[in-house]
Structures are given as structure tokens and as C-alpha cells.
Structure 1
Amino acid sequence: MSRILLATAACAAVASPTLAQPAQTTVQLDEITVTGSRAQRALSDIPQSIQVIDRGQIDTQIKQGGGAAGLLSRVAPGFSINNQTVSGASETYRGRSLLVLVDGVPMTTPLRDVSRMLSLIDLNAVERVELVAGASSLYGAGATGGTVNFITKTAQPGAPRFVVSSKLTAFTADIGQSIAPEISAGVSGKSQNGLDYVLSATGTMARRTYDGAGRELPSDAMLGQGGGDRFGKVNVLAKLGYDFDGGKRLELSGNYYYLDQNPRYLTNYAGAFAQPDFLRPYTGENVAEDTKSISLRYTDKDFAFGSLSILGFYNDIRKRFNYTEFSYPYNSQVYYSFDPRNPTSRANQTTLYSNRGGMNLTIDTPLDQIWQGAKLTWGADLIHEKTWQTLTDGQNVFTPLHQTTTAAFALLQVPLTDRLTVRGGVRYENFALAVDDFTRPAAFAAVAARTPLGYQAFVLPALRVTGGDYNYSSPTFNLGATFKLTDKAELFGGFSQGFALPDIGSYTRRAGLSTAYACPLTRPNCLPASRSVISYAEIAPEAQIVNNYEAGVRGSVGKFKGSLAGFISTSREGVTFNPLTNQISQQKEFIWGVEATGEYQVTEQLALGGIFGFREGRYDSNNDGHLDSWLPNNRIATPYTGTLYASYRFGNGVSVRVEGQAWSGRNQRIDLSGAHYRIKPSATMNAVLTAPVNGGGEAFISVDNLFNATLQNPTGTSVRNLPVYSWGRTIAVGYKQTF
């Protein structure tokens, strides 16, 4: 079968631009440690770009809104603009996928790539964020563009510490119809006997949302992905830890993510832009998320071979998507009701289920007896997952999948001189995939034609897909180095590999969705028996191994700190399903870009800074070996992005931050036919004012889209190449009390 996998990725790091408070006048990068290589390392030793987002920056993002995706969009030059919905659709990093971790536990669903995770993470429970740029296989599949690890809060020694916060957010277009509350409460503590605990819970509501022109935004602008309105969301984190003598620790952690969206109207996709269809009430079930994650971690700093970490985890995931109806050309395929006048099945709404459990073993071994300062990080992973997706009537929409992954890795770090450190590693992974037989339900589809309706409709009869057992494996590698220019700055560069599993569930769901398997409406079951069955092997999924090359410089000089990096990302295998051939297109891809961050501490009170990102890419659209077309907008919607900001702290503790965020448009030819879909450039301004309150309190007011500009959301627009508008002016007021 196909090769698949990947090697450990070396990490690298650069502190993120300050979101709230002015930075110190000097930056000691060597004191920052990161865990992106599965063992703590000084930032200055890691030969890849990494940003460390601290709690102060997270607090400012909570005030501004937008959640985790908004945070990354503001501080990470390679991340796409936040699409402002509950979905992660088209939110890419360096034009590729981003692997989302919470305390090192993967939260994505690689066998069916439909992530909402960034919109579900509660930033109130997060202590810091580590964002590793570039391909990596260190935590498994999915990190072809980068890896983000949300590290939750830890308890501090002493009496219980309580934090309570509240916020009200509203759109100035209609405050009464849009005002929405959020409340969060947390407690943490650590006793002298070694027992510690963290408990955090947040409840959030969203009501109507509006664009800059005062128009109500739809609940499902991106066709089945969910929206940013009319939902309730609950997040709960519970951690219990115990420190034993001799550097040993046991920690039990649980996360609960719940979302319930209640759309009121269907969406009209036939106009100039996505908008609510006020004449068609929404008749499907609520959009929902019910995800539970539990993990148990044991660490021993005095293990016989160095430092030991064993992590066991289990994720129970349920995601229900929007009900949609036939609407040519944007929703030209739906499950069939067998009534041509109303072709959409009442069950045309799906729920994804995924159970994923695993164990990660990591050992960090010092090798001073061989080479002073050398370290070897090594270990193994075992993961088993089961994924399936059904219509509301219980029919499977793709073949149920079972996969067991086993992997082993080793990563060596050697300081060749006082200034030069080299890191390199290999990971070998094996996938054992079991594909069940299933019957794809009948579908109603349409293609462009010269008819009064502008299309010709036909039936895709139910099709039996036969499965089987498949195994595929591959090694992946990384190699890089850092060179210290000064005590506070270094050059870095290297090569790393990551891999993406094809969205196997999506492909079996689309098995036989072409005119070659079509029947006329008058004879909906015209296929002979010989053509009513297709084998999973005919779909021929291949894994995509991505090569990442990167070089840069980072550090601080006096009152300035910053980074500059350039990268190239290549791959030979594709992940795009071609319904005409019923196979995955195995096209080459080539992505390149530049990223920069910088901050200057003008005075102790005033800081100025910004980020800049550029990425662009081409691919082989007809598999002839030549890079003949630009990557589609859902991979790269805005080649240029940038943010400029200023923050000032007054003597009385009041602070203000003003930022301007801008992005370019795009109008590239994405295939040999000359197809192109324009993305418009835009810019917006945001501001936050924070004031201390006696007794450990803090009050704030923030304004996003300060001038209420009417903006096209580039990421939302790129999903279906249909214009989707961004939020208009929003105002948030809030209060936080710590005691």
C-alpha cells in the first residue's frame, strides 16, 4: 500500500510579539525552554521557528475575542486569517495543516479531517502556547504546516487561588440582538504534601452576528461547517497531580468540550455573497460538539536512563454538522430523497464519531560520558482509533475505519562547540488500517448544462464499497543546527519532514461520485450489478510526506527583539480526491515564504512592534511533473499578512493597546483552464483599554474593527469560493477578579 510517515521534527523558537504589556528592555532567550521536541530544551538550541505565547498575551486575546484561532492569526505570521466560525475550515499554517495538541495530546481526527478544535479551546484555562512552524512527525500525522500545543494552567504552591472573570460582547449594528455573555471561574492550589489541583470552567453564548454594513451574517456561510452565531459553549478542565519523592510525578487530566448551535435560517448561496435565507427556516437538528479527553501522565526526572515521561490518553469525539439543501452550483450533490422536486433527503445531515486512544513513551538521556552536553531523546508511540460518520437516519456515509499506529523515534542533540549545536533524528511509523464494507447512500447531483435551470440533474445510485486490511509505513527525518551569534541571538536552519494522511473517510464518502456512475432521474437504479460495487483499493490513497527547509535569525539587541525566517515546503504526493478517476491526485506541490516578528521597547511604558508573513505556492494540476498552477485559495487565501501595534502603560497601571491588521488579496489561476477566484485585500483596526481595580481586580473594554469596515473574510471566502463577510464593529466589556 502506500508509504506514510514521518520523522521527529526538530523545534525552534521565537518569542511572540507582545499583545498586552510592554516587554522588558532586554530578552534572555536562553532562559526560555520549550517542549515541542517532547523534551525540554532551550529555545536557542532548536533549529526551527517557534513562537511562545505567554499568559499576558493570552489575556489580551480573551479581551479581544476570536478564541484560539484569533490568537494565532494575530501573533503567528504564517497562520491564516481567522474565519470567525466554529469551524477550522481553510485555516492553514504555511499553506498546510496544523496539528492541534492540548498538553501534548493530539485533538484532531486524521482519518476524517474536520477540525473544530481551535474554536473549542478555552483560553481561560491555558497558561502558554507553543507554536512550532514547519513539517513535523513528532506527535503523529497532521503537522505538515506546523504544530501548536496549548499548555494548560498549573497550580502554584500555597493556598487555593481563585480567578473569576466575565465579559459581555455585542455588535454595534444591533446591540440588543447581539449582546452575548461569557463567564469563567477557576481554582487551583498545591499543598505541602505534594498534592495539587486545577479546575476551570467557562460558559460562552453567541447570538446574532453582523458585518460592517449592518447585515446579519448566516449561520452556515461555508456550507455545512457551522457559523459564529446562536450557540452556547461549555469548556471544563480538571487536573489532579501528585509529586512523589525523587522527582516523580503523576498527573490525571480531563477536558470536556461542548457546543450547541441553533441556526434559525438556511443559507442562501445563490447570491453575490453568503447570506441568511430569511424565507427558509432551518429545519435540521442543532449543530453540536460533544468531545471528552482524558489523560494520565507519569514523569520521573531520576529515571535510570535520564528523564522519563509516559502519557496515556483517550479521546471520545462527536461532531454534528449543519443540515443543508440542494443549491446549484455551491451544493450540487446531496443525499437523495427520491423526489426530484425536493431532492434533498431529510437525513442530509451527518454526525462524525471518533474514538482515539494511545500511549506515548519519551526518554531524555544525557550522553555526557560520550560527548559533554549531548542528549538523546527517544521513545515510542502506540495509537488506536476508530472513526465513522452517519446520516441522521443512521446510515453510514463512509466506510467505518479502524487504524493502529506504532512508531519509534530518536533525536540526538550535540553541542559541537560553545556556539554550534546540531540536532538530528529519525522516526519510523507503521499504520495498520482496517476498512469495513459499507454502502454509500444514493445521491442527487447536478452538472452545468444549457437548460432553463443552468444544470442537468442525475442520480448516483447507492454504491457498495468493499474494504480490506492495509499496511503502510515509512521513515521520516530531520537535521538542523543553531549557531550563537551572541548570548542573545542565533542563526538557525535545517530540514524536517512531516506527513498528512489522506482524508480516507472523505474519499470513501465520495466513492463513485462522478457521471460514470450516474443514472437519469427517470431510472434512478440503472447501473448493472457489475458497476454497483467499487473496492477501496481502487481509490488508492497515498500518504503525503512533506519536506520543510528553513533558515533564519532570532534574538535581541538592546531594546529590540525579533526574528526573520525563510522557508520552502515541498511534497510529491497529493491529498485531493478526483471523482473522475476515483483516485487521489498525486500532484507535486511547492510552497515558499518569509516570516518576521519584531518589537522595540521605546521607553519603559511604550512598546512598538509588528509581524509580517508571506507565503505562496504552486502545484502540478495535471500530474505531468511540472508546477503549472497556483495552489487554490483554500490553501493560501492571502499571500501577505501583517500587523502593527503599539502598547502603552500609564503610571497608574492603566494600559492601552492599538493594532492594525492587514492582508493582501489574491487572484491567481488555480488550474490549466484558467479558473481563478478573487480574494479582496482588507485592513482593520482594534483597540484594548485595561485598568486595574483595587483588591486584585481588572476591568477592560475592547473594540474590534474600530471603524466598522465592511470586509470580505478571506479564509471563509476561500472554502467555497463564495464571498463571506467578516464581523463588523464589536465591543466587549469585562472584569476579572483574582483572590
Structure 2
Amino acid sequence: MFTINIKAQSLRLKIENESKKPIANAAVSSNNKIIGTTNLSGEVSVLNAEIKNNTIIISAPDFQLLSYTVNPEEQNSVTIVLNKENQLDEVVITAGRKQENINTIPSSVTIMSQKEIQQQSSINSNLSSILGNVIPGLGTTTNKATNSGQTLRGRQVLVLIDGIPQSTPLMNGNRDIRAIDANAIERIEVIKGATSIYGNGSGGGIINYITKKSPLYNSFEGVTTVGTTFNPLHGNETFGYRISQFFNGRKNKFSYVLGGSYDYTGLQRDAKGTPLGQTDGLSNSYQTNAFVKLGYDLDENTNFKVVYNFYGSTQKAKYISQAGVYGQTPTIGVRGSEPGENAGTPYNHNFMFTFSKNNLFRTTQLDVSAYLNSFQSMNRYVQSASAWYGPGQTMINSNKNGTRINLNTPFTIASLPSEITYGLDVLNDVTFQDLVDGRVYIPKMDMLNIAPYAQLKVDVLENLIFKGGIRYENATVRVDDFNTIATGANNTGSIFVEGGKIPYNATMFNAGLRFNKYEFFNPFVSFSQAFAINELGRILRRANENTIESLETDPIITNNYEVGFSSKLYNLNVTAAYYISTSKLGANLVDVGGYLVAQREPENVKGYEIALDYRFSDQFNVGGSYSYVEGKAKFDDGSSVYLNGSRIAPPKATAFATYKPSADWNLQLSWVNTGCRDRFELNSKGKYNNSEGPIATVNLVNFAGSYSFNKNWSLNLGIENLLNNYYYPTVSQYRALDAEYVLGTGMTTTLNLRYKF
């Protein structure tokens, strides 16, 4: 913030970028009211009488928000330069449960802005694809309705919407990344490495979808999007459509965001035009999202918000799978229909109420949130299964409700600026998995978790920041008596298991240092832990003992050691990190007699990531990333085995080039490469075990372009698999199953028309 002086009746502003080019449509506001908008020359005049509290806020898309203090004397004409949005200067909420600059956080963080989300969603609106194509360390998309195998740094990731957990770690349904529509998201924060800051299930890190926010000033805005998706080379039955409408605004103390979207995906075909196999596919699927956020400011320090989000995605397939032969011929789609319910996510309800007060006990900030999440995942119907007798279809049901009390108090220690963030999390998670016909596959698991925590931040020296914290997990999972599901006729294979309570108590620590004096080298080092009651349902459903106490249900405690840095040198930005992630107990799923069983052996995962971008000019910039991860499980005799493909993704490289020939055009060409990986031998039957298949290199090129007709209308064109590559996604390769040996989609074009007012 800086001061400008005025003595005339009006103030004339000229808004420019760093290259001294005018910025049109920049909004000048005061006291939540827009008092002027710049013309094509970047100029605007505002009346002094409309400037309240001597404060002006200037905002423009793609530029950092600036605030000025105004003194009513002297000059009446000012030229102001707005800086481009710089990801290294952004504020992060997720890492410490309070707003903090990314340069002060001793861990790896990747942020996707709304502009980046919009650009990527013009190629593919599936969030699994968007994140897999961009985030270093995250596995690439599966081209399916699930994100099975899409781990972060070789471990499970906890997905949140505004802090509300979407993942089902008690029994992973792998549908949590696709939990909201991209148009409802303001930004995405990805915190990498073990962290227990939000509780159970974050061994690999956290993905937090921050939903759209209302404007800072009195206004009414809206965005309408209509579009279509199709295969331009083999178009028959591939046409899909999309419509999205969002409104947001503010009237004095009341603010709101309202909207929703409806999306239909047509038949997906491979590069040669053959319909894809339908195992957990997206062909002929419908996605629906409804979103409401209401806010009210009681005063300048106190407000509350109510958020509701509904998401549903189901497949009404017109084709069924015709199984191929792994390594030889693909599984393809043939016209037909399957019995049973439509597979997908029938519903995902999220509700949250938040109360915030910035001046509790003078300088203490208080945030209290109460939330609930009700989620159902419907798996596809199968004619026969190894896990139960006869045909069937399973569904995972998860109901969570919780309360988060979070406080932040600044203070000094021996003249050192400090602050402490502390509070209490209470979560009740009830998860179970039944067959549609009523058979119990996984009994109801009722978890109550009470977790107090505290996080200290101290400026030890000038520009040397220490962060350290503790969290105590006190959880109990209650399971009633149950019978395991029969694997043969007349209840063959079913055993009775006496239920009970499973207590979990663990203390999680974290500590880190970051030195941020120099932009050209901003290093950090950290240690962090995470807690997970991972895949407990899988352990229960394969129980071979008669009591809960006899089963191996110990939690996974993950230790993450990391060193990294960020660097800004002129127009070059670089971030890099090296990490080691260990756990005394693991949950690698291995094939034992046709069943996937959790391997509870010590694990060691390590890897590195690097990302960079270089801006040649305001018109042209390039960038890319590379990430590598490897992991092993170690046995008591000292031998070790590689973790399989469901955990460890192959190396991933990305690159992009963005060109803006004028203010109206924005063009981007991007490349995603997944490397090869061959770690496992054939079994005694001459086949690969489940998830141990070799992976061959895949290269995909995508294009995204937009043209703005004026400040209201724009057209977006996205082309996925621009070169129409004929390939098998990594999940099809490593799974090593005939039914899942499915090709990737061929060239797909998306065309969206947007109207913004």
C-alpha cells in the first residue's frame, strides 16, 4: 500500500501494466462500490466525494489487486502500474489453516489460479485430467470416472472442498477428485507431502478446491457458458454438450455466489474410431453441479458464510465392454446395456456454516466451521466376481459431519515476531459398502475422531521463518458384529466376526525452516507426519479371524522429509524439491489368490520434482515440469519389493508455450509425457500380477485457445490429443487385466462460448 494526494474535485487515473501498456476495464472501487472503470486507453476519472475512508482499490483480471490510501491534497492525475499475478506471491490457506504467503511456507505448494483452471477445462472439464496434466508429483488421469492409481508422491491424497473432506479413507472409492465442477472453483491449492493438518488420509498431501468468492464491492456479475464436445475425425455419437451459469454479487453487507452446471459426455472413441471399453468409463455420462455461497458481514471484523455444493455424475451407457487380451488386443465397446444401477457418483452433498471474527481478544482471529458431507459411489454391475458369489453391484456410502475450531494469535518471543494457530477438530465418519441386493460387503465403520492441534510460527532471524506444530489424533472406530460375504453357494466362505471398538491414538509432529530474503534463492527444509486409517474396510471384508481384535488394523503413520527451494531471477521462476517418505506400516495392494490384499510392510518412497517457467514478454512465455517417484516395501528378512503401479506412477514431464498475439487472443500448446517403467516379472502362470504390468511411454499434445470479441463475449477452443495418438493410458498398462486393457481417447474438440457481465 502507498499514498497518493489529491486537491482537485476529481482524481484522474491512468492504469498501465509493467510494459507501460494501458489496462482496459480495470475497476476502481471504494467502500464496496465501483466508482469508475478504465477505458481502452486505461484512463478513468473518479470524484473525490466518492472516495470513502481515503481508500481506493484497483482490480483487473490477471493482475494483482492493489489498494491505495488517499490524502485530499495536491495532484489530480496519477499513473499507476499493476503487476501481473505471480504465483510465488500468492496467499495460501490450506497449508496452515490461515492465510499466509507462499514464500513463508516450508513445504511444496502448487496453486492453480482460476485462469489456469478455465484454460485447462477448455481442453477437458474432468478435474482428474486437469490436475494430472499440470500438478508435478500427481499421477496422470485414468480417462475414467474414477481416479484409481492417481496418487500424489506415491501415497493417497486427501481431497477437500473449502476444507470439507471428500475422500473416504476408511474404504477408498477413488471418486474424490471428481467431486465438484471446475466452473465452481476459484483456485486449487495442492499441498504436497505428509500433513495431518486436516486429519485422516493425507499421506501424500492435500488437494483443496477453494470455491468461487463474491466481489469486494457492490455489484452484480454473471458468467454463462455453453459448449459442445466431439471427436472431429470420428464424430458419430461423440457429441456432448455443456451449460453453466453462475451469478455473484454484493449488496452492502450481504454477498452471494449462485450457480450450477450440466454436462453430457458423448461416446468416447479411440484414435481409429473404435468405441472405448466401458469399464468405469465416461461415455454417455451426465454430470450435474449446484452451488450456493451466502455471506453476511456483521461488521468489518465479523462475518459468517453458508456454503452448499451438490455434485453428481452417473453413466447411462449405450455400450458394454467386449473384453480384449492384455498386451494384445484392447477391450472395446459394443452396443448393448448392462443390468443394475447406473454407475458413478449418484450424489455428493456438502454443507458448511462458517463464523469468523478477526478481533477476538484484540488480535486473535477465530474461525468456527460446522460441516457435513453425504456421498455415495456406485460401482459397475458385474456378472461374476471373485469376492462374492454370483452377480452383483456394490456401492460405497459415506456420511461425515464435523466441527473445526481454529484460532490464530500473533505475539512476540524475545522481540521475535511470532504467531500461534491452534484449535480442535471433531469428525464423525460413517462409511460402509453394500451390494445393491442388500448383502453386506463391508460392515458399517463408525469413526469418531477428536484432534487438538497447535502450530507455531516464529521469525527466528530476519527472513528466517520457523514453523513447527503438533496434532494429537484420538480416534475410535466402532464396528458391529458381522458376517463376511459368502464366496460360494449356501453361504460358503462366510465367517462370523465379533465386532467391537478399534482405538487409535497418535501424536503427529511437523517442523520446518524457510529462508526468504532473496528472490533468486528461497530455500526450505521440513519434516512432517500424517495419520491414516487406510483401507480399513478392505481388511474387514477379507477377515479370516472371528474377532476384530485379531485383525491387523494398525494405522499408517507417514514421515515426510523434504528439502526444496523457489527462485525468481528476472523473468525466470523455478521451484524444486527432493523428498523421502517412510512408514513402518504400509498399505500396498498386492494380488493374493485373485484378491487385492493390503501389504502391511515398512515402506520407503522417495522422489523429486522441478517446475519452471520463463516469460520472454507479455505475449510469450514457456514452462514445464518433471517429477519422479520410486517406492519399495521391505520384509523382515531384509528383502524388498517395488511398490506396484497402483501406488507408484511413472516419471512425468510436462511443457507448455503460451502466446498472446494481442489482448484479445490467448493460445497455448501443451505436452504431457509419462515415461516407461518395468519393475516386475511374470508369475508362475506366465502373466503379470494385478497392477504389476510394464508401462510404455505415452506422449500427448493438447491445445487451448480463446478469443475475446469484447469485454463480455469470448470463444474458447480446446483440442485434447491434438495429434490423435493411439495409446493405452498408464492404468490400462499396469493393471494387467484383460477387461481393463482399454485404449485412450482419440482427438477430442471442445468449443465453449462464454458471456460475462
TM norm structure 2: 0.84
Contact persistence 1:493–1:550 (CA under 8 A): yes
Corresponding residue of 1:303: 360
Deviations 1:59-114 (A, max 9, x none): 10110105222221122110001111111111101111111011111111121111
**SS of 1:399's equivalent?**
strand
Kindly, what percent of the aligned residue pairs are identical?
Answer: 26
**Among 611, 634, 657, which residue is 1:597 paired with?**
611
For 1:655 and 1:351, locate their aligned partners in 2 and report how far apart those are by CA, in whole Å. Answer: 43
Matching residue's letter, 2:432: W
**1:658 matched to 2:669:** yes
For 1:431 and 1:727, locate their aligned partners in 2 and report how far apart those are by CA, in whole Å. Answer: 43
* Deviation of 1:148 (Å): 0.9
Cα distance change of structure 1 residues 715 and 672 upon mapping to structure 2, 3 Å threshold: closer
* Deviation of 1:496 (Å): 0.5
**1:92 matched to 2:147:** no
Corresponding residue of 2:268: 209
Cα distance change of structure 1 residues 582 and 430 upon mapping to structure 2, 3 Å threshold: farther
For 2:332 and 2:493, locate their aligned partners in 1 and report how far apart those are by CA, in whole Å. Answer: 32
Deviations 1:534-562 (A, max 9, x none): 22222221111111111111031101112
The alignment's C-alpha RMSD in Å is: 2.5
Deviations 1:323-368 (A, max 9, x none): 0123xxxx5x0532xxxxxxx33xx101221111000111111012
Contact persistence 1:628–1:672 (CA under 8 A): no
Cα distance change of structure 1 residues 28 and 356 upon mapping to structure 2, 3 Å threshold: closer
Matching residue's letter, 2:701: M
Cα distance change of structure 1 residues 418 and 319 upon mapping to structure 2, 3 Å threshold: same
**1:704 matched to 2:720:** yes
**1:630 matched to 2:646:** no
Contact persistence 2:275–2:333 (CA under 8 A): no
**1:70 matched to 2:129:** yes
Cα distance change of structure 1 residues 683 and 655 upon mapping to structure 2, 3 Å threshold: same
Matching residue's letter, 1:293: N
Deviations 1:556-594 (A, max 9, x none): 110111211111111110225786899853211111111
**1:412 matched to 2:471:** no
**1:384 matched to 2:395:** no
Contact persistence 1:26–1:558 (CA under 8 A): no
**1:575 matched to 2:587:** yes
For 1:613 and 1:435, locate their aligned partners in 2 and report how far apart those are by CA, in whole Å. Answer: 40
Q: Which runs of 5+ in 1 are unaligned?
A: 1-19, 221-225, 337-343, 446-457, 513-532
For 1:627 and 1:234, locate their aligned partners in 2 and report how far apart those are by CA, in whole Å. Answer: 49
Q: How many residues align?
A: 665
Trace 1:356-375 onto structure 2 (pairs within 5 A): 356-368=400-412, 371-375=415-419
Corresponding residue of 1:190: 250
Trace 1:470-489 onto structure 2 (pairs within 5 A): 470-487=502-519, 489=521
Deviations 1:666-705 (A, max 9, x none): 1102799896521111101111121001251110212111
Trace 1:129-528 onto structure 2 (pairs within 5 A): 129-156=188-215, 157-192=217-252, 194-220=253-279, 226-269=280-323, 271-272=325-326, 274-276=330-332, 278=334, 281-289=337-345, 290-304=347-361, 306-326=364-384, 333-336=386-389, 344-345=390-391, 348-368=392-412, 371-444=415-488, 460-487=492-519, 489-512=521-544
For 2:491 and 2:677, locate their aligned partners in 1 and report how far apart those are by CA, in whole Å. Answer: 36
For 1:539 and 1:270, locate their aligned partners in 2 and report how far apart those are by CA, in whole Å. Answer: 38
Q: Which runs of 5+ in 2 are unaligned?
A: 1-60, 65-82
* Deviation of 1:270 (Å): 5.1
**Among 711, 727, 731, which residue is 2:749 paired with?**
731
**SS of 2:725's equivalent?**
coil
Contact persistence 2:290–2:311 (CA under 8 A): yes
Contact persistence 2:324–2:332 (CA under 8 A): no
For 1:559 and 1:630, locate their aligned partners in 2 and report how far apart those are by CA, in whole Å. Answer: 40
Contact persistence 2:249–2:257 (CA under 8 A): yes
For 2:179 and 2:163, locate their aligned partners in 1 and report how far apart those are by CA, in whole Å. Answer: 16
Corresponding residue of 1:40: 99
Corresponding residue of 2:554: 542
For 1:691 and 1:71, locate their aligned partners in 2 and report how far apart those are by CA, in whole Å. Answer: 21
Contact persistence 1:429–1:475 (CA under 8 A): yes
Contact persistence 1:492–1:552 (CA under 8 A): yes
Contact persistence 1:701–1:732 (CA under 8 A): yes
**SS of 1:81's equivalent?**
coil
* Deviation of 1:269 (Å): 3.9
Deviations 1:452-502 (A, max 9, x none): xxxxxx984332222111212010111110012514641011110112213
Contact persistence 1:387–1:401 (CA under 8 A): yes
Cα distance change of structure 1 residues 584 and 663 upon mapping to structure 2, 3 Å threshold: closer
Corresponding residue of 2:171: 112
TM norm structure 1: 0.86
For 1:372 and 1:334, locate their aligned partners in 2 and report how far apart those are by CA, in whole Å. Answer: 60
**1:644 matched to 2:655:** yes
For 1:395 and 1:355, locate their aligned partners in 2 and report how far apart those are by CA, in whole Å. Answer: 20
Matching residue's letter, 1:267: S
For 2:600 and 2:184, locate their aligned partners in 1 and report how far apart those are by CA, in whole Å. Answer: 41
For 1:276 and 1:284, locate their aligned partners in 2 and report how far apart those are by CA, in whole Å. Answer: 20
Matching residue's letter, 2:648: I
For 1:81 and 1:63, locate their aligned partners in 2 and report how far apart those are by CA, in whole Å. Answer: 18
* Deviation of 1:268 (Å): 3.7
Cα distance change of structure 1 residues 266 and 437 upon mapping to structure 2, 3 Å threshold: farther
